[in-house]
Amino acid sequence: MEEVYIYDAVRTPRGRGKAGGALNEIKPTALAAGLLDALKERNDLDTSRVDDVVLGCVSPVMDQGFDIGRGAVLLSSWDHAVPGVQIDRFCASGLEAVQQAAQRIRSGWDQLIVAGGVESMSRVPMGASGGSLFDPASAMKMYFVPQGISADLIATMEGVTREDVDAYAVESHRRATAAWAEDRFAGSIVPVKDMNGITILERDELPRADASTETLGGLRTSFAEQGAIGFNAVAQMKYPEVERVDHVHTAGNSSGIVDGAALVLMGSEAIGRELGLKPRGRIVSIGRVGTEPTIMLTGPTPASEKALASAGLSVEDIDLFEVNEAFAIVPMQMMRNMGVSHDKVNVNGGAIAMGHPLGATGAILVGTVLDELERQDKRYGLCTLCVGGGMGNTVIVERVTDFVNGETK
């Protein structure tokens, strides 16, 4: 089987996902097209050699509908012979795109694929596409509750307090602010420009250097009202041992709503040599799982265990972890479950500080961990997300500098 190499990874800055956000004026197709053009320029890429563009997008309607993968190709300067496709695995859509691209290249049926995702949450609101899981019959069978209730349910069962999740959130902001101050994202960020070529955003909008437990402690909980109208009762029907659900998550310790896009250029060794592409990393293994759908957000641990087992690695072999901060409890639980120090997890902050553009986040994690492996001169990175409906997705990458059977050199 073919080794799967990562040749480049780029992303846009993340803009606030509301009408006043910096990226609200830019259509999501243009966000992705701009990154395609950047990949072409950065790698002197003959785009006619790319087999496919695979884009994750969670709400493929309105501005994001009608196969945004193909739409991005046609809006860019790329050869129109390159096809494009849109896929959706909820919050892990961008990582799913990377996984599917890796599997296709590993099979030998494709040689060069761009995988990633895009989400303009200011233009296409979360949930705009509706959903089969909201159907009453499905919801009744799975004891459906909103994700925020699931997050609070996990915190309750883990004994995690409001002070704990707020402290985690403050640290996410501190790390993100420090990372931007030290230009740690400079190698991957592609500033977003308008149709006149004027730069409108060149850094993430959300990180706050002044975030503190005092300021976050003043925010009201986000999901207590949903719980009070009946969703707490539904959760307790599934988990009767829980006497009451403690609501600890707020807008300050949950992922930010943002606009953004990210792409990863992946291919075989043969195409890399032919086109003069320099490998930066390789895909080592992947893991996908389903989990109990009421509690919903526990997938990162079993998905990561599956990926580690597939690679023949232990958790101690992993140098850096990128765990999507959908809610503070998600990485906190994974660290507890797997015995991972926070020193290795989200070292440059995460989605609480910088935002979670749903369809793009998984691809952002891959680029972020690869950049940091290079900066720290480390070898293995693990990227993982919890997923709506009770799932988890994980990718393990290895930093490489040459084609040496996947070995770091």
Tally of CB atoms within 10 A around 246:
18
Cα separation values, 164 from 45, 161, 188, 217, 332, Å: 47, 5, 32, 11, 9
What are φ and ψ of residue 249, in 5° steps? Answer: -90, 140
Cα 72 to Cα 385: distance, rounded to the nearest angstrom: 25
* H-state helical runs in 20-67: 28-43
Residue that is written with structure tokens 């991005």 in the block: 72
Q: In which region does residue 319 sit, left (phi positive, over 0), alpha (psi from -120 to 50) or beta (all else)? A: alpha
Catalytic residue among 173, 247, 249, 386: 386
Is there a contact between 266 and 292 (Cβ–Cβ < 8 Å)? Answer: no
Is there a contact between 83 and 70 (Cβ–Cβ < 8 Å)? Answer: yes
* H-state helical runs in 159-194: 162-181
Half-sphere exposure (CA, 13 Å, Cβ side) for 409?
10
Token pair recorded at residue 135? 């159907």
Known catalytic residue: 91? Answer: yes
CB contact set of 118 (below 8 Å; sequence gap of 6+): 28, 29, 31, 32, 55, 56, 57, 64, 68, 72, 260, 261, 262, 357, 359, 360
- End-to-end distance of the chain based on CA atoms, in angstroms? 21
Describe the crossing of helices 329-338 and 162-181 by its angle, rounded to 10 degrees.
100
Token pair recorded at residue 121? 């949450």
Known catalytic residue: 383? Answer: no
Known catalytic residue: 356? Answer: yes
Instruction: Specify the amino acid at residue 188.
Output: S
Cα 151 to Cα 168: distance, rounded to the nearest angstrom: 14
Cα 56 to Cα 86: distance, rounded to the nearest angstrom: 6
DSSP type of residue 229: I
Catalytic residue among 57, 91, 247, 383: 91
Expressed in percent and rounded to 5, the helix, strand and coil fractions of the chain are 40, 20, 40
* H-state helical runs in 252-392: 269-275, 300-311, 329-338, 351-354, 361-376
Cα 143 to Cα 145: distance, rounded to the nearest angstrom: 7
> What positions carry a catalytic annotation?
91, 356, 386
